[in-house]
Structure 1
Amino acid sequence: MTGSQRPGGHRLTLLAVILTVGTGAVDAACFIRLGGVFSSVVTGNLVLLGYAISGLLVDVALHTVVAVGGYISGVVVGTSITGPPKEDMPIWPVRVTMALMLEFVFLILFSAGWVLAGGRPAGIVAFAVLAFAAIAMGLQSAAMRGLGGHAALSTTYLTGTLTGLVAAMLVPRESGRLDSRGMAILAALTTGAVIGSLLVVNAPAVYPVVPLVMLGSVIAAAVIRRARESADSS
Structure 2
Amino acid sequence: MPTINSAYPRRFRWTTTGPPRSSDRQRRGRELMAVVLAVNSGATDAIGFLALGGAFTSVMTGNMVLLGVAVAGADGALAVHAGAAIACFILGCSLGTRIAGTPRPDDPVWPPAVTRALAVEGVVLTGYAVGWWLSGGHPSGQLQLSLLVLNALALGIQSSTVQRFGVAGLSTTYLTGTLTTVIARLTSGHRLRDVTPSVRTLLGLIAGAALGGLLAVRAPVWAPLVQLGSLGTVLAAAVAAIQPAPDRDRP
Q: TM-score, normalised by structure 1?
A: 0.92
Pair 1:176–1:68, CA change in 2 (3 A) = closer
Conserved 8 A contact 2:63-2:82: yes
Deviation for aligned residue 1:193: 0.8
The equivalent of 2:198 in structure 1 is 182
Conserved 8 A contact 2:39-2:208: yes
Question: 1:122-201 residue pairs with structure 2 within 5 A?
Answer: 122-148=140-166, 150=167, 152-173=169-190, 177-201=193-217
Q: Which amino acid aligns with 2:246?
A: S
SS at match of 2:194: coil
Conserved 8 A contact 2:88-2:149: yes
2-structure distance, mates of 1:151, 1:130: 29
2-structure distance, mates of 1:206, 1:197: 11
Pair 1:154–1:62, CA change in 2 (3 A) = same
Q: 2:89 aligned with 1:54, yes or no?
A: no
2-structure distance, mates of 1:56, 1:18: 38
Pair 1:176–1:29, CA change in 2 (3 A) = closer
1-structure distance, mates of 2:193, 2:138: 45
Give the RMSD, CA atoms, in angstroms.
Answer: 2.0
SS at match of 1:56: coil
The equivalent of 2:15 in structure 1 is none
Q: TM-score, normalised by structure 2?
A: 0.86
Conserved 8 A contact 1:172-1:178: no
2-structure distance, mates of 1:53, 1:186: 31
5+ unaligned residues in a row in structure 1: which ranges?
none
Count of aligned residue pairs for this structure pair: 229
Deviation for aligned residue 1:220: 1.0
The alignment-based identity, stated in percent, is 41
Pair 1:176–1:200, CA change in 2 (3 A) = closer
2-structure distance, mates of 1:131, 1:182: 28
Deviation for aligned residue 1:172: 2.5
Conserved 8 A contact 2:186-2:192: no
Q: Which amino acid aligns with 2:173?
A: T
SS at match of 1:36: coil
Moved more, 193-202 or 39-48: 193-202
1-structure distance, mates of 2:240, 2:169: 24
Deviation for aligned residue 1:177: 3.8
Q: 2:250 aligned with 1:233, yes or no?
A: no
State which structure, 1 or 2, has the greater radius of gyration over its C-alpha atoms: 2
Q: Which amino acid aligns with 2:135?
A: A
1-structure distance, mates of 2:9, 2:224: 31
Q: 2:39 aligned with 1:26, yes or no?
A: no
5+ unaligned residues in a row in structure 2: which ranges?
11-20
Q: 2:25 aligned with 1:12, yes or no?
A: no
